[in-house]
Structure 1
């Protein structure tokens, strides 16, 4: 029996790509929801649900996944700490793959960022993250940029909240502090997504860059995550687990 995959936000740009990738993977499209559709019915009639809607629906969708015992693939960015806690609570009952980015290349970027941060001391190497997206994007820094910052902080044995973020520098800011991670967000045109992590020391600079040219890479990764999650026990996962790196 093929896996029945539901798509929250099926009428959007990502929803259409997800529909195509579900078919390409040999799974069955169980249905989808638009802005005013019944999400309860979607979760009840699916074996797994992919959600690329927005942060405002994450808590309700996580609760529905837990209530119906359905794996949830969550790609919404900009979640608050309360919303992330609700997702983690749902993961006690069902598999949840929550990722800032479903591109395999970005998952590898996160892994490399963590390893490099572990051996490049913050006293000598400042970490700066520059990202650019299309002009319609509403959150900044992007979820992927924040995920990259978290990977750097994790490599240094701390959390991003402990390390601190420097973003939106303007005016007479004084010298750069040692330790915090810098973020710069660029917006314009129809850029799908570009992220660069720079480790800057007095004697050298090291840069890691990922560029997305087609949103389909996110859809392909999310469907791959759904097929993988359907075979997993309850837990909170991300793309490194899907790719066998966790």
Structure 2
């Protein structure tokens, strides 16, 4: 049997976490994947910032690609990921939903057409009460898409106080935390007398699990380098 016809063997770095359990459930429903923590074709890590060096070391030592779904990463994490990508394929995805990957593409296109002279961009996101980082990694990912569309842009976060003046061309962020919200994101283009709102609603972690498996299928056999969910979308 050819390699591309064999099940993709998935190793989970944090199998007992919320996303680890969701990915295991998705694997159980799809015969083209197999859970194999000891001998995986692709390692998936949705753990936390502190565990990232360990998961990357494991991937590099085993010579297997790794999908990193952890958010809230800092500059040191960026450097660690870049070094690992010299040895193995690394896909960094603040959100593994295929819908969000498509949304980012739409945001980039809209930002390129709707210029900063007349259109403001605000990104609002809502998540469950236990989410530790804000703005969400997905909101920042969408903001980066908007920046690519416009060439450059500054950011405004956490507004509070009086006599606030919005900077022309800035991308604003607003974060809401509470309940069990899996993830809501609205990218608002606010112009004169009209608004364009591009939205995504996550109803369960299953969508992130299915997207992670699609990314794992893409990563199997890939050469060293840094990849994104846009690469996954382009391959479909």
Query: Which of 131, 136, 140 lines up with 1:142 in the alignment?
Result: 136
Query: Which residue of 2 is the match for residue 217 of structure 1?
Result: 207
Give the structure 1 partner of residue 15 of structure 2.
Answer: 10
Contact 1:9/1:51 (8 A) holds in 2: yes
Q: Could you say if the C-alpha distance between residues 12 and 223 of structure 1 is closer, same or farther in structure 2, counting changes exceeding 3 Å?
A: same
Question: 1:18 and 1:240 mapped to 2: Cα distance?
Answer: 20
Is the 8 Å Cα contact of residues 5 and 50 (structure 1) preserved in structure 2?
yes
The corresponding residue for 1:189 is: 179
Unaligned runs of 5+ in 2: 1-5
Using the TM superposition, give the Cα deviation of residue 73 of structure 1 relative to its aligned residue in structure 2, in angstroms: 0.8
For 1:49 and 1:22, the matched residues in 2 are separated by 14
| Equivalences for residues 1-246 of structure 1 within 5 A | 1-26=6-31, 27-31=33-37, 45-158=39-152, 163-244=153-234
Match of 2:27, SS state, is helix
1:66–1:90 Cα contact (<8 Å) kept = yes
Q: Distance in 2 between matches of 1:82 and 1:178?
A: 31
Distance in structure 2 (CA, Å) of the matches to 1:64 and 1:231: 17
Aligned residues: 230
Residue aligned with 1:149, SS: helix
TM-score (norm 2): 0.92
TM-superposed deviation, 1:10: 0.8
The question of whether the paired residues in 2 share the 8 Å contact of 1:133 and 1:188 is answered with yes
Distance 2:155 2:142 in 1: 12
Residue 35 of structure 1 corresponds to none
SS in 2 for 1:243: helix
Q: TM-score if structure 1 supplies the norm length?
A: 0.88
Cα offset, 1:47, TM superposition:
1.9
Q: C-alpha root-mean-square deviation of aligned residues, in Å?
A: 1.6
* Deviation, structure 1 residue 173: 4.2
C-alpha distance in 1 between matches for 2:50 and 2:13: 13
Residue 245 of structure 1: CA displacement? 6.2
2: CA distance between counterparts of 1:234 and 1:173?
50
Q: CA deviation at 1:185?
A: 0.1
What is the match of residue 3 of structure 2? none
